[in-house]
A and B are shown apart, each in its own frame.
Chain A
C-alpha cells in the first residue's frame, strides 16, 4: 500500500516526464474555497462548469478564524476541491478580478490529482501579507463577493460622479455620488445575491437612472423655503450617519454581522448612532462651522453631502469606534423570537395626522420630506412618512409622522426583515434613534415574530394588559392634575373603524417576490420617550408572547369570542381616563406568566441567559409596582 506522499512523489515524476504544458492552453482551474461553491461561482462568472473532485498536491489550506481560506505551497500536504473544465480566458479574467490577482492572490500552475491521473491546472495561491488586513476585519467569503460586486458598481458610480459633480476626479466626488445613491447600491447588491448575479448592463442602467437630488425646486416654492433649514439639517445628519454606518460595517465586519434572517444594518446602524449621539455637540458645532446648519442658496445638495462626508471622517476615530464595539459586544444577548420596532416622531404629537398647513412650525408635519429626498437619505433606518392611510408614496406630499422602521428596507410591499433577536439591541437602538433624530418622539410599535404553528390562546385576564401599559404606556398628569394613560386617553391608538389597537396580527414578507409570510404580533400602545430603557417592556412582551401567546386584538379572523375582546377594550378606555391600581394578585400572575415564557429561552440558551432574564424580570416587577404605587396615590386622592 502506498502512502499519499509516495503516491504524490510517483505522480510528480510521471508529470515531469510529460511535455511541458503551455500556460496559454490550460483551461482547467482547481477551486477549494469560495469558488468551490456553485452559487458563488455562478454569481461571479454567470456560468456553471463541468468539474471533477480532485486533490491539489503539495499545498496546504489555511483557514483563519472568522474569515475565508487560502492555499499556500506546502510540500507533502494536499487540499480537497474540484477541478473545473472549459475555463475560458474570459472566465479567468473575471476570476482574476475577483481574486485581485497579483495583489491578494497569485494565479499559478499546479498539479491536481483526479482519480489516478495528474493534471496541470490553474490555482489561486494566497499572498498572506496582503490578505492579513482582511482577516483582522473578519471578512468572510460572502463579504469578498459583496466587495467584488461593489467594485463593479463603483465603476458606474465614477462615471456618474463625472457627469454630476463637476469637480476634480478625486475620492470625494465619488464618495458623494455613492452616498446619494447608497439605497440603489444596496438594492443592486440584494438583487445580485437573490438572482445569482446581475448582468453588467443592468447594474449600469440602475446607476444611470438613479437621480441625484437637487435643491433648485426650492426657489419656486417659498412655503417650502420656510422649513428648508430644518430639512437640510436632517438630511445632512442622515448622511453623516450613513457614512459612519459604512465605516463600522467595513472595519468591524465580524462584529456587525448577523444571520441572513435579520436586517444586515442593525448593529452597524446602532454603532453609528451611538457615535453620533455621544458626539452630538461636535456634530452641531461642525454644522455651524461649515455653515450647513441652514439652507444656503450657494450650496448644492451634493455640497451638503460632501460636508457630511468630511464631518463623518472627522468624527470617526478608531479608539472611539473600538469603545463602541466593546460596549455592544459586552451587552449583547441572544433571544428566541425575532423582534422589530417602528418609531413615530412629530413635534405636534398625535395632531400630526390630518394636520393643517403650518401647524408644525419646524417641519410642517414633514410635508416636504420626499422633496428633500429624505426617504433615500434615511433608508438604513427605514425612514418614511406615515399618515395612517394605506401607503404613502414618495411622489405625493402628505402630512403625518416621520417614522423609522428598523429592518424595513423596501417601503412598497412592506418588505422587511426583523431588526434583531436581542431585546438589549432593540432597546438601545430605539433610545439612540430618539436622541439622534432631535424631533419629539411620539409612539413606538414593537413587533414580535411568532412561530407559524404556535396556536393563539384566549386572554382571560385584562389586568395583564394593564401591567404592560404600566411598563410602556404614558402615565402622566393632564393640565388639571389628573393622572391619565395618555396613549389611550388621547385616542392615539383608537381608530373609528377598528376600535382600540393594543396589538395586531400582521403578515410580513421578507422578499418582494415571495408569497410566503411570517406571522408578526405588533404591539402599538407604547409611548416613545426620550432617555428610556425599553428592555423591561420588550422582555415582558416577549415573555407574554412565549408564555401565553394571546390572540392579538386586531387582525385575527378566528378570534373565538370577539365580544369579550370588545368589552376588554372598553375596560382599557375607562381605565386610561382614571387609572386604578392593578390588583397584586394579577401582577403576581402576570410575572409568573412572563417568567414561564422567558424560561423557554433559558432552556435553550442556558444558565447565563437565565441570570440575565432574572435581572430583567426583577426590573419589570419593580417598575410595575412603583407605577402602581403612583396610580394608587392619585386614585386615593381623587376618591
Chain B
C-alpha cells in the first residue's frame, strides 16, 4: 500500500459520514428516478457498500471485486427496471462527491493528482462494467424470446385471416 493510498483511506474514513450523507441527499432529490423514491437509510446502506468497494479497489489495485460487484448490481438494477442512464447518473453523483471530499481535505500535491487519476479510472471501469452487462442482457433476451414472437405472430396472422387486416373491435 502506497503512502498516497494510506492518506486517501484516512481522508475518506474521516469524512465518510459527510460524504455518504451528501450523496444520499442528492440521490433523494433526483426527480423522476427510482432514487427519489427510496428511504434515506436504504440509500445509506447501499452507498456505504459501494464506497467500501471503491476504496478496496484503489487500495489493492485489483479490479476484480469491482467487476463482480458491478455485474451483480447491474443484474439487480436491470430487474428492478432502472434505466442505464439513471444508474450512470447516480454513479456520477457519487464520483462528484467523492472528488469533492478529496479535493477539500487532501493536501494539494502531486500525489493528489495521481490519486484523482486513479479514482477517475476506477469510476470509469464501474460505469463500463455496468453498461456492458445491460447491453449483453438486452441482446441475450432478444434471442431468448424469438419463439414467443413467433407464437404471437401466428396468432395475429390467424386472427387477421378471419377478420381481414382491419383492426376493429367488434
Contacts and interface: CB of A to CB of B under 8 A. Distances in A.
B1 interface: no
B42 interface: yes
Given A530-B37, A627-B41, A281 B167 contact: no
Contacts of A165: 159
A219 B78 CA distance: 35
B42 A532 contact: yes
B110 interface: no
B138 A285 contact: yes
Interface in A407-453: 434-435, 438, 440-441
Given A168-B158, A530-B38, A280 B148 contact: no
Given A281-B137, A306-B152, 8 more contacts: A168-B162, A216-B168, A278-B79, A280-B78, A285-B141, A289-B146, A347-B32, A532-B42
B92 interface: no
A571 B142 CA distance: 56
Interface stretch (A63-71, A100-108, A296-304): A296-304
Interface string B60-83: 000000000000000000111100
A215 interface: yes
A100 B152 CA distance: 34
The 10 closest A-B pairs by CB, nearest first: A214-B169, A530-B37, A285-B141, A289-B145, A167-B159, A280-B79, A166-B162, A529-B39, A290-B152, A298-B167
Contacts of B29: 477, 479
A310 B155 contact: yes
Given A166-B159, A172-B155, A285 B142 contact: yes
26 contacts: A164-B170, A168-B158, A168-B162, A172-B155, A214-B169, A277-B79, A279-B79, A289-B145, A289-B148, A289-B149, A300-B169, A301-B169, A310-B155, A314-B148, A434-B37, A435-B81, A441-B37, A476-B28, A477-B25, A477-B28, A481-B25, A529-B42, A531-B38, A531-B80, A532-B42, A623-B41
A332 interface: no
A626 interface: yes
Interface string A275-292: 001111110111001100
Contacts of A281: 78-79, 137, 141
Nearest to B149: A289
A297 B155 CA distance: 17
Interface in B145-168: 145-146, 148-149, 151-152, 155-156, 158-159, 162-163, 165, 167-168
B162 A310 contact: no
A542 B141 CA distance: 44
Contact of A282 (B40, B141, B158, B170): B141
Interface in B26-45: 28-29, 32, 34, 36-42
A520 interface: no
Nearest to A212: B169
Given A281-B141, A285-B138, A289-B145, A303 B159 contact: yes
Contact of A307 (B39, B146, B152): B152
A272 interface: no
**Most A-side CB within 10 Å, residue of B28, B36, B142, B169:** B169
Contacts of A347: 32
Contacts of B155: 167, 172, 303, 306, 310
Contacts of A302: 169
Interface string A505-535: 0000000000000000000000101111000
A521 B148 CA distance: 47
Interface residues of A, number: 55
A299 B79 contact: no
A164 B125 CA distance: 55
A475 B40 CA distance: 8
Interface string A568-588: 000000000000000000000
A58 to B, nearest CB: 52
B32 A531 contact: no
**Most A-side CB within 10 Å, residue of B42, B149, B156:** B156
A166 B148 contact: no
Contacts of B170: 163-164, 166
A80 to B, nearest CB: 52
Interface in A511-565: 527, 529-532
B148 A290 contact: yes
Interface in A116-170: 163-168
A138 B168 CA distance: 43
Contacts of A474: 39
A242 to B, nearest CB: 18
Contact of A297 (B36, B42, B167): B167
Contacts of A310: 148, 151-152, 155
A626 to B, nearest CB: 7
A188 interface: no
A310 B146 CA distance: 12
Contacts of B137: 281
Interface in A261-281: 277-281
A630 interface: yes
Nearest to B167: A298
A285 B145 CA distance: 8
A479 B30 CA distance: 11
Interface in B5-34: 25, 28-29, 32, 34
A276 B36 CA distance: 23
Contacts of B152: 290, 306-307, 310
B81 A438 contact: yes
Nearest to B166: A298
A311 interface: yes
A532 B45 CA distance: 12
A290 B149 contact: yes
A166 B163 contact: yes
A302 to B, nearest CB: 8
Contact of B37 (A279, A286, A481, A529): A529
A280 B81 contact: yes
A162 B34 CA distance: 44
Nearest to A528: B37
Interface in A164-184: 164-168, 172
Contacts of B146: 289
